[in-house]
A = this chain, B = another copy of it.
Amino acid sequence: MKTAIAEHVHDGDTVVIEGFTHLICFAAGHEIIRQRRRDLTLARLTPDLIYDQMIAAGCAKKLVFSWAGNPGVGSLHAFRRAVEGKGPALEIEEYSHFGMVARFQAGAARLPFWTIRDYAGTDLPRVNPQIRSVTCPYTGEALATVPALNPDVTIVHAQRADAAGNTQIWGLVGVQKEAAFASQRVIVVAEELVDTAVIRADPNRTLIPGLVVSAVVVEPWGAHPSYAQGFYDRDNDFYVAWEAISRDPAKLATYLDEYVYGLPDRAAYLARNPGLTRRLQARAQVCAGVNYGF
């Protein structure tokens, strides 16, 4: 992880750590904080706790997002302090989920924009000049457009990948495929490194091909407190706890000291959280395979 972040994430980059609730790579975010990257443009649909931590750690110059809350719990207070003028400044560029998804689709297709039927009547285009419109060459109607998002680096957490970066994900897949294809560089962080034969045995399961991947990191439990279907559950208790931690800048600083700066890597993080793996370990519910013969 150290080398992958050092090589592929640079100051000033546009960085995407995707994953919708599922497979959010906290391990990569923590390493970026440890390596003290600065002036990053952080983009993802839901900044979630990981970007709140990176904002608090001073990594972010700008945030591009569509929903900035702590799902089912409350606020991302480091983000709120910045935007409400009670903390270090943070530029924001805001869309809806569909708008962000469409930006990644355009990026993945290497088109300059994507067309969606959205934003009519809302105030969002008034505060975001990047939301524009095109006229349909067939019906003459006006439709909304969003610009392509092509990150410098996208980090995708996955259940398994081979050494070449051929990556398989199941459960919620969010916009990881689009973000990876849209990106200049891609880091895949896998729960499990598997032989290519495992990938080739079920090719329809492959979400991201190795030919777009720059680096593969094997990091078990690397998504905690997010989750990995079939590996471990979401740590909802920590998400609840974050409300109190992030509300108090001092508490937040202490958290970063103890769980990020103060630790060398994810293995140490797990050691620092005794009982975690036992508490969240997934039970087995394995599906049947399908026949690829002919």
Which among B112, B143, B202, B229 is the interface contact of A139 at CB below 8 angstroms? B112
Known: A115-B115, A136-B112. A282 touches B287 (CB 8 A): no
Which among B113, B138, B285 is the interface contact of A113 at CB below 8 angstroms? B138
Which among B202, B288, B294 is the interface contact of A201 at CB below 8 angstroms? B288
| Residue A233 at the chain B interface, CB threshold 8 Å | yes
| Residue A35 at the chain B interface, CB threshold 8 Å | no
Cross-chain contact A293 with B282 (CB below 8 angstroms): yes
Cross-chain contact B111 with A171 (CB below 8 angstroms): no
**Interface 0/1 of A134-150, CB less than 8 Å to B:** 11111101010101000
Cβ–Cβ < 8 Å partners of A292 in chain B: 170-171, 229-230, 285-287
> Which chain B residue shows the least CB distance to A160?
B290
A113 to B101, CA, bound (A): 18
- Interface size band for A: 35 or more
Known: A282-B294, A285-B293, A293-B230. A170 touches B132 (CB 8 A): no
Known: A284-B293, A289-B286. A171 touches B132 (CB 8 A): no
Find residues 162-176 in chain A having any chain B CB closer than 8 Å to their own CB: 168, 170-171, 173
A137 to B16, CA, bound (A): 25
User: Chain B's nearest CB lies how many Å from the CB of A61?
Assistant: 22
| Residue A3 at the chain B interface, CB threshold 8 Å | no
User: Chain B's nearest CB lies how many Å from the CB of A221?
Assistant: 14
**Interface 0/1 of A119-133, CB less than 8 Å to B:** 000000000000011
Cross-chain contact B229 with A294 (CB below 8 angstroms): yes
Cross-chain contact A171 with B230 (CB below 8 angstroms): no
| Residue A159 at the chain B interface, CB threshold 8 Å | yes
A173 to B113, CA, bound (A): 26
> Which chain B residue shows the least CB distance to A285?
B293
Cross-chain contact A289 with B288 (CB below 8 angstroms): yes
| Residue A251 at the chain B interface, CB threshold 8 Å | no
Question: 12 pairs across A/B with beta carbons < 8 Å?
Answer: A111-B116, A113-B136, A138-B145, A159-B290, A171-B204, A198-B288, A229-B294, A230-B293, A230-B294, A282-B293, A284-B291, A285-B292
A residues lining the B interface (CB < 8 Å)? 110-113, 115-117, 132-139, 141, 143, 145, 147, 159, 168, 170-171, 173, 198, 201-202, 204-205, 227, 229-234, 282-294
Given A285-B293, A286-B289, 7 new contacts (CB under 8 A)? A110-B117, A111-B115, A111-B143, A113-B137, A173-B204, A229-B292, A287-B290
